[in-house]
């Protein structure tokens, strides 16, 4: 499974989000996943290759139309929120 963490440019928020997604996946016992941190432009080109795209609520509308599941997150440092959102997306 391929998960893409997305922020505006792919350097700051997406890296924090990537690390927290990896923690959430461990708590969900998901071992077969790769997580990448990218910006919106790159996500639009990678989106069709990803299974799940995790981003902020503000950026989610920019990623509409991708075949990947879009998972909007309100607080990128809230591992509990990320874990719950990923658990729902993995169903």
Per-residue pLDDT at 46 exceeds 80: no
Query: For position 9, what pLDDT does the model report?
Result: 86
- The per-residue pLDDT for range 11-43, each reduced to its tens digit, is 899 999 999 999 999 999 999 999 999 999 988
Query: For position 72, what pLDDT does the model report?
Result: 98
pLDDT band at residue 47 using 50, 70 and 90 as cut-offs: low
**From CA 6, how far away is CA 27, in angstroms rounded?**
21
Residues near 26 by beta carbon (within 8 Å), at least 6 away in sequence? none
- Total-model pTM: 0.92
11-32 in b/e form (b: 16+ CB < 10 A) is eebbeebbbbbbebbeeeebee
Fold of the CATH domain 2-78: Rossmann fold (3.40.50)
Domain ranges of the chain: 2-78
**From CA 11, how far away is CA 91, in angstroms rounded?**
29
Structure token pair of residue 16: 């924090």
């Amino acid at each position: 499974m391929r998960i893409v963490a997305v922020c505006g440019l792919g350097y700051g928020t997406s890296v924090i989000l990537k690390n927290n997604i990896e923690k959430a996946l461990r708590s969900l016992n998901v071992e077969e996943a790769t997580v990448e941190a990218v910006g919106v432009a790159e996500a639009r080109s990678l989106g069709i290759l990803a299974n799940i795209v995790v981003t902020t609520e503000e950026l989610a509308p920019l990623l509409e139309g991708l075949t990947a599941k879009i998972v909007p997150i309100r607080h990128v440092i809230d591992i509990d929120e990320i874990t719950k959102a990923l658990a729902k997306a993995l169903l």
